[in-house]
Amino acid sequence: MKKNWFSFLIVGSMLGIMGTIALAEDSSHIVSSNIISSSEIQSITSSSTSEEVMTASSAETTKNTEEMPLKNLQTVDSIQHFYPEQYGVLSKDETFYYETAEDAKDGTNPKEIDDLSSRLVKIVDLYTLDNQSIYHFFSDSDQEGFIEINKIDRTESKKFVTITDKISQNSVYKDMKLEEKVDESLVKNKTLKVQEEFTVNEETYFSLVGTDNKIIGFINKKEASETENAQGAYQSLGSYLNISEKNKDVYQNFEFDKKNNTSNLLNQTFLAKGIYYHSNGENYLSVFNQKNKWIGYINQKDVNLTPNKQGNYQAYGKYVTLTKKNYDIWGNFAWKSKAKAGKYANQTLIAKGIYYHFNGEKYLSLYDNKGNWLGYINANGTTIAEGAQGSYYPYNKFVTIKSKNYDFWNSFKWSKRGSSSSVVNQTFNARGIYYHFNGSKYLSVYDNKGKWLGYINQNAASVAKGPQGSYQNFNKYVSVTTSNYSIWQNFDWKKKSSTKNYRNQTLHAKGIYRHYNGEDYYSLFNNKNQWLGYVNKNGVTLAEGRQGIYHSYWKNVTFSSSNYPIWRDFSWKKQNTSFKVSGKTLMARGIYYHFNGSSYYTIYNGNTWVGYINVNADQNYDMNKLIPNTESLLAVHQITQQKILDSAKRPSSIIDKVLSMPTINRNQITFRDNHFVVSLKGRGLGMDSVKLTAKEIAPGVNYRLLPADQIKGAIPKLKGNQKYIALTFDDGPNPYTTPQLLNILKQKKVKASFFMVGNGVNANPNVAKRVANEGHQIGSHSYSHPQLTGLSTNQIQQEMRATDKAIYYATGKLPKTFRPPYGAINRYVSNVVSKPAIMWSIDTRDWESRNPYMINNVVNNNHHSGAIILLHDIHQPSVNSVSQMIDNLRQKGYQFVTIDELYEMGERPLNGYFSQYRSVRY
């Protein structure tokens, strides 16, 4: 059929004939009807002159007028042009149409519809004729013309159709022939507005309009997922998403009421259970958290979808330190463990990436400093570091710098601060430590004034046990040249001894500690490899060798022995064999106190040096050195008293005088004929002097000045690597219990010390004698057991002398030690008694408990090397406890000794002794 169109260049009079042409350019001006009633037609007719009909601009008028039929324009009252175009289906009952509006008005020249019945046609315009008839102008690929409005079936729709992957193939047709299909990309996963519904060949179709209000195509209703909502039909999704953008809205509904903002959900992973392909062209996800709580609707373009619960990989690039040992390092997100965090405890690693997992946790992708991937770890098992140095850890350990070849750093940008060479062997406080990514550890080091020295590689230092620093081999010899320095048991400053006890001796400083306090301490050993303690290096003088340091002497020495070699050096390789010293007086300009225990003069014949010779070749003694103090003099006095009684024909006749005789002085002692002669003139003792051998006097003097071969056996020696303990018994002897105790001690081969009361000895002299004969040591415990601190000088002397006599008469020996009753002693009592006071370090309180089990329990809980245990041999339960006590202590590695053995005969008057390592000067 020929198409007749007329030009838009219509004059104003022609427009008057046309009336008002309304152009509706949006869907609000499209007539929604199925088969329109006469009242609806009247409404449409009247609307053509109403203000609701838009008057076209000149351009729009031109556009739409060009599409009108060319003939008989005068028959048209109004025209409504559809945009977008509308579609409908010609009624099955209709068999004709009109080519022109005039024919339609007059009902003349009807045309056969041919095969248009039940076919889809495009409705171009709506015409109101001047006879008030309303016609559609329709168009088909083959035909076009006018047909009454009620002869076309169509239904306006407010529905929406969602087209998803679930729809088989592409079901949207491109045009009204329903043959050619549109490009799938235009409709896939979209929600489109339905303009109208119509039925063709008993199939219902929807016409679909895009967001630009243009017809996209047609879809069979059976193939469509239809909904009343602009957001489209809900589509199950089941994907995970990361929220990585801020300030994006989260909606409560599709009225777009705001529920939240992505800024509050940033970097979290959620589950998108469903998706809406909204008709506005956007996709909205229905989002839930790991607790199945609905979060809201989020525009898909504002998030990153992922199929995995761990979410998307995000670059991170931060250093972390592994601080929790019990966390797993995962090989994947199926939770296959690759390692435990403890394997890398405190190490600094790089977290190149991060996953914000759906379970609410963060997982870091870890790499070591060689680029090896280690696995995934929960971020809670790590600490984010400020840089490659890792996290700061409090350390608070003392370290000694051992190497000269390390730098101190100002920062971890490697700005040099200093060198370890300036502080090598010094001890500092490492307050903190960094486990650097480079694999090294760095200490934050401070000196003893709180000054920060910088960061240093831990390999430059050794960790010390305390502020004393690390032990360093020293292996040098030192001479003790002071008397007022303490020798320490440990670096908690428990005193062990004093340099006074080793004055002028040469000792072996095997090790040295460079203490944090800035002082150096030597670890001292004697020539028997017994450890003596720690001493400040200022208390001694470093020697060139085992001979010790040179001491000025400048005395003439007469040599009476030719049995000693003259050495040219202290390597003992060269002798001076050409010079004989026997009977000669030479100048000893100096003296060396050798580590081997001997002393050596450096002697001169005039101004000619002869060599070094053992001082024993000179048999003259300096009594001030041999008897160096009051305590030693009192000890020699006790030895002299015993010697007097041993030498007397009738000891009982002089014993009172002996016990009350004034203390001897050094001027009374001379060395003659290889004996020490003590003058007794004017004392009324029946003798002018007594002679003491070197062995007899050795326990009371500085025995190291005596010839070793002459004092052999005089001084008991303990092994430095053994544990010793002393059993002591008070208040005996008892005629019943003491013999039982002696039987036990004999059976167990144990020697003990007994502190006896004088009245008990007088009552049981045979028991006391047996104690002495079986090798036990006897000391005084007063005569009647009073509290000595409450007595006068005379009363104290009476108590002590009466006891001395009782013990002497029973055993033939005077007691040289005493134990104050009740432990009550002070300086006054100590001066009057003038005997070593033997105290205790373990009080069994056996007199109170009277229970062998409880007695042993006290010992078991308090035993220590060098201990003195207090017991009483007058109580049967005490005696009954001894056998088990001995067995228990032996199992713990102890050896039993007497008091003399414990102190190697070194106990002195005016001193109190509590254990092998603890004594006091009263």
Query: Which positions are catalytic?
Result: 730, 872
509 near 523, Cβ under 8 Å? yes
The residue with tokens 């059929």 is: 1
The H or E element that residue 677 is part of is: strand 675-679
Report how far residue 715's alpha carbon sits from residue 700's, in angstroms, rounded to the nearest whole number. 10
State yes or no: cis peptide before 84, omega within 30 of 0.
Answer: yes
Report how far residue 27's alpha carbon sits from residue 21's, in angstroms, rounded to the nearest whole number. 17
The residue with tokens 């896939």 is: 188
Per-state percent for the chain, helix, strand, coil, to nearest 5: 25, 35, 40
90 near 31, Cβ under 8 Å? no
The H or E element that residue 841 is part of is: none
Q: Write out the two tokens for 320.
A: 């972390």
Query: Which of 356, 267, 366 lies closest to 309 in space, CA to CA?
Result: 356
Give the 3-state secondary structure of residue 626.
helix
Report how far residue 482's alpha carbon sits from residue 498's, in angstroms, rounded to the nearest whole number. 9
Alpha carbon 174 to its chain's center: 72
Amino acid letter for position 332: N
Angle of helix 630-647 relative to helix 651-660, nearest 10 degrees, comes to 170
Report how far residue 850's alpha carbon sits from residue 592's, in angstroms, rounded to the nearest whole number. 57
Report how far residue 739's alpha carbon sits from residue 733's, in angstroms, rounded to the nearest whole number. 9
Q: Write out the two tokens for 203.
A: 């199939």
Report how far residue 354's alpha carbon sits from residue 557's, in angstroms, rounded to the nearest whole number. 90
Q: How many residues does the chain have?
A: 922
Q: Write out the two tokens for 567.
A: 């050495």
User: What's the Cα-to-Cα distance from 522 to each of 478, 507, 842, rounded to whole Å?
Assistant: 9, 10, 31
820 near 805, Cβ under 8 Å? no
The residue with tokens 């409560």 is: 252
Strand partners, 250: 260, 298
